[in-house]
Amino acid sequence: MPQHPDARATRDPAAREADLFARLPAALAAALRAPAYAAHLAGIDPDSVADRAALARLPVLRKGEMPALQRAALPFGGFVPGEVGGFARLFTSPGPIFEPQRSGDDPWGGARCLAAAGFAPGEVVLNTFGYHLTPGGFIFDTAARALGCAVIPAGPGNVEQQLDLIEAYRPAGYCGTPDFLRILVEAAGKAGRDASSLRKALVSGAAFPPSLQQEIAGHGIDAYQAFATADVGFIAYETAAREGLVVNEDILLEIVRPGTGDPVPEGEVGEIVVTVLDPDRPLIRYALGDLTAALPGISPCGRTGPRIRGWMGRADQAAKVKGMFVRPEQVAEIARRHPELGRLRLVVTRADEADAMTLRAEAASGGAALAEAVGETLRAVTKLRGTVELVAPGTLPNDGKVVADERPVG
C-alpha cells in the first residue's frame, strides 16, 4: 500500500481529536478579527468550544450564501482577517466566490492525498485542472510539488498538445477530472500515441461512477478519488483500502441535517460542515451543500482519520459539472438576459461517461435562433457547454427548482 507521508495520518484517533480541539480556540480568535465573523459569532468565547457538542452550538455559515455576502463587502464579505495584499494568490470561482490562497508549502493539504494514491517523490505529474482565475490547478500543483513531484501545468483541453507533453515528459501520474482522463487515453489510442507512462491518477471535480472506474482501470491506470473544494482544499481522499474516503488532517468535519446545524447519527446521510484551523483563512462550521455519510471504524489501510462514504449529492440546488459549480444565481442571470423566456430548469445528467447539461426553457416562440442565443448565454455565464431545449409555456413544474442534478449517485 502507498506510504504514509507523515505520522499524523496513523496517530491515535483520540489524540487527533484532542489536538484539533486544542487548536480550535486560536482559529476562532482569528476568525473574530474579521468583522463579518465577529458579527456571525457574536458572544462566543473561543476557549469554551472544547468538544463537538460545543462546536455544534455555533452557527453554521453556508457556502451558498457567500456570493451575496461577498458582493455586499468585496472581496471576502468580511470573513477573512488581514489584508488582501497579504496573500500569495487571489482567485474567483463560479458564483462568483472570491478566495485567497492559504499559507504554507502545501496550502490546501494535498500531499498526503497524492501519497495515498501512490504518487511518489521524483515522479512527473500531469495536472489538467485549470490555472486560469480559479484555484483548482494550484491546489493540485502545490500538493504535488510538496510531495516532491515535478508538475506539468497543462490545464484542461488541448488534447493533442497534452499527448505531446505525455510522450516527451513521460508523467507517471495524472490530476484532473475523470472525464478528461478518459478523453486523453481514448484520444491516444485512436491516434496511436503513447500514453502508457500514465499509471496512477488522483481525480476530482466530477462523478466517478463504477462504470468509468472500470474503464479507466482497463487502460492500466490506478485512479483514486479526492473530495476537494476551492475554498477548503482537500477535505477527504481515497486510499488503497477502497473503503470510503479518509478525512484530511487539520479539518474538523461534521455531518448535519440539511438546512440545520444539527449533527446526524453516524451512518445517516447529511450535509458536510467543515471547520478549518487556518488562522489566515479560518472557516468555522462552513456548510458546503454536499451530502455524505460517516463510515464506522478505521480504514484497513492503517490511516486512522474519520471516514466518509464520498460525495452523495447536493443538499442545495448548486451542482458541480466537469469540476465547475453551476448555481441558481447563474440560471437567474440567463433569464435576466432573455426576458422572452419563462421558467428555466438546468438539468445535469451523464452521457457517454461525461457530465452533460440541458437547459429547459419555456418560450412561446423563437425556434432555433432563440435556442442558439440562449446556448451562447449559457456558456458565457457558466463557462460550460450545454444544450438548450425550448418547451411550451407551463410545461416546467412550478416547484422553484432551477438546477436539477439527475446524475446517478455512487
- Say if residue 291 is in the same domain as residue 326: no
User: Where do we find the cell 464520498?
Assistant: 310
CATH code: domain of residue 195: 3.40.50.12780
| Helix (H), strand (E), coil (C) string for 321-359 | ECCEEECHHHHHHHHHHCCCEEEEEEEEEEECCEEEEEE
Which of 314, 346, 374 delimits the end of a domain?
Answer: 314
In whole angstroms, what is the distance from residue 254 CA to residue 268 CA?
12
DSSP annotation of 267 reads: T
Which of 314, 329, 346 delimits the end of a domain?
Answer: 314
Residue 131: CB atoms within 10 A of its CB come to: 16
Rg for the chain, CA atoms, rounded: 22
Q: Note down the domain range covering 173.
A: 13-314
In whole angstroms, what is the distance from residue 113 CA to residue 126 CA?
16
Closest CA to 310 of 236, 258, 259, 255: 236
- Say if residue 264 is in the same domain as residue 180: yes
- Mean pLDDT, consecutive 10-residue stretches, the chain (410 aa), reads 68 97 97 98 97 97 94 97 94 92 93 96 97 96 97 96 98 97 97 97 93 96 96 96 96 90 89 95 95 94 95 81 86 92 93 92 92 96 94 85 81
Model pLDDT, residue 320? 87
In whole angstroms, what is the distance from residue 69 CA to residue 98 CA?
11
pTM > 0.85: yes or no: no
Model pLDDT, residue 276? 97
- Say if residue 235 is in the same domain as residue 368: no
Residue 41 backbone dihedrals phi, psi, to 5 degrees = -110, 25
> How many independent structural domains does the chain possess?
2
Q: Which three cell numbers stand for residue 132?
A: 486560469
Instruction: Report whether 70 contacts 33 (CB < 8 A).
Output: no
- Say if residue 299 is in the same domain as residue 325: no
Model pLDDT, residue 181? 97
- Say if residue 307 is in the same domain as residue 367: no
Q: Which three cell numbers stand for residue 409?
A: 449517485
In whole angstroms, what is the distance from residue 260 CA to residue 341 CA?
34
In whole angstroms, what is the distance from residue 357 CA to residue 112 CA?
34
CATH code: domain of residue 370: 3.30.300.30
Walk across the sheet containing 150-153 and list its strands: 150-153, 124-127, 173-176, 200-203, 222-229, 233-238, 245-247, 307-308, 294-295
Model pLDDT, residue 18? 98
Instruction: Report whether 173 contacts 198 (CB < 8 A).
Output: yes
- Say if residue 198 is in the same domain as residue 144: yes
3-class SS of residue 211? helix
Model pLDDT, residue 5? 62
- Say if residue 272 is in the same domain as residue 382: no
